[in-house]
Amino acid sequence: MGGSALMGTNLSTFRSQAIQPKQSRFLGYDPWLLVIVFSMIVFGLVMVYSASWNESWRSYNNPNAIFGRQVRNLVLGLIALAIVSRIPLRWLRTLALPGMVLVIVALLTVLVLGAEEGSRRAFINGSIQPSELAKLVMIIYLAVWMESKEDRLQDWSYGLIPLVIMIGFVGGLILLQPDLSAAITIGAVALVLFYLAGATWTQTGAIALGSAGIGLLLVRVSNTGQQRWAEYVNGLVNVEEASYHVKESLHAFFSGGLLGRGLGASRVKFGILPFPHTDSIFAIVGEELGLFGALLVLFLFGFLIWRGFRIAMKQPDRLGMLLASGLTFWIGLEAVVNMAVLLGLLPFAGNALPFFSYGGSSLVTNLTAIGLLLNISRWKLVETRAKDHVATIGFSRRHGGRSVSRLGRRRRTPKKR
């Protein structure tokens, strides 16, 4: 550990070290993370109702049907959040492998039983998507696996090759659904975790180049990929040549102006913009609440990402740092991709906007991830002296903090929590 974080304390005077929960916060959780997530949940519920009541009336003859389902999804997600926010993190080391096996079985099963309109992505009329669960479980599994490898991760036979096999197998099952955006998300998160866990630049670059090559190949051989890429490139040159979805999304943002048409006053949600309450909900925010509303959403996600990585920076052990970093990067990546696609800045992808888009699997898994982040934020490293004296290592800015860096070979590993 860096000397700045220890304030000059001589670690040789300590006999043992352990990790204990923080007592200075409400239940020990990061208060800002709680506030930001609660704000996003409330904001998201309001926008789901505003964007979905027309579709709900047309499909179910009830303007509240879709909103009611989202509330039920939220309750399930909050229950999951409450549970995982209090479980001992050491349980994840035991549950990671069974969880990964369960995900693989679900991905195989959905390919056989989940056929719906040419895709095989979900069970129960689209309510349960194994690919969403795969993102969360893969982060947990990789964090546990990379922690167990320690310095051996830099050995190609122990690190790079097994990682490529794992990501290739799970990603391949997801591609068969097909769900290209989910497969790319899992690959990107795995690459970031691999680097943070101590992989060399050579290993990281090899995976990045290989992934880029595979992605290019998929675009070239897939009719859908070719169409989306062509629409994206044409849209960069002339917005009128962009896809219908992107053109209507940009029209929504333009018509919203600075202050928007007003909450509930969107026009494009009436059968013009596809998926207004799911993938396109950010465009509804832009139309109804204007540029200020869109910037507010961007600020909320930026604040959440900052808190998540700050929690990761303060972790005294490898597992906590990798988990917090992976979960934060995943949520941030999903949000950035969703918003960038609707603005025509990235090729079209079917990513939901976390905490805003309607959807059971995405909302429950995102809230479960937040529960894990809250759990991780509860813990701190303490050093115990010979005579039961406990001195807390300072991580706050006034103590010099800790730099955002990868785990090095010489980093001390505390007692596992």
Least confident interval from 294-298, 315-319, 321-325: 315-319
Cα–Cα distance measured from residue 301 to residue 204, given in angstroms and rounded to the nearest whole number: 27
Q: Which residue has the higher pLDDT, 24 or 207?
A: 207
How many other β-carbons are positioned within 10 Å of the β-carbon of residue 349? 18
How many other β-carbons are positioned within 10 Å of the β-carbon of residue 93? 17
How many alpha carbons lie under 13 Å from residue 288 in its C-beta half-sphere?
22
Cα–Cα distance measured from residue 201 to residue 203, given in angstroms and rounded to the nearest whole number: 5
Least confident interval from 212-216, 326-330, 362-366: 212-216
Using DSSP, state whether 304 is helix, strand or coil. helix
pLDDT digits (tens, 9 = 90+) for 324-342: 999 999 999 999 999 999 9
Cα–Cα distance measured from residue 176 to residue 218, given in angstroms and rounded to the nearest whole number: 12
Cα–Cα distance measured from residue 155 to residue 144, given in angstroms and rounded to the nearest whole number: 17
Confidence band of 45 (pLDDT split at 50, 70, 90): very high
Q: Which residue has the higher pLDDT, 195 or 228?
A: 195
User: What's the rounded mean pLDDT across residues 126-141?
Assistant: 87
User: What's the rounded mean pLDDT across residues 293-300?
Assistant: 96
Using CA atoms in the order 30, 32, 36, 42, what is the torsion angle rounded to 10 degrees? Answer: 80
Cα–Cα distance measured from residue 77 to residue 364, given in angstroms and rounded to the nearest whole number: 4
User: What's the rounded mean pLDDT across residues 371-383?
Assistant: 78
Least confident interval from 1-10, 12-21, 160-169: 1-10
pLDDT digits (tens, 9 = 90+) for 218-232: 777 777 777 778 778
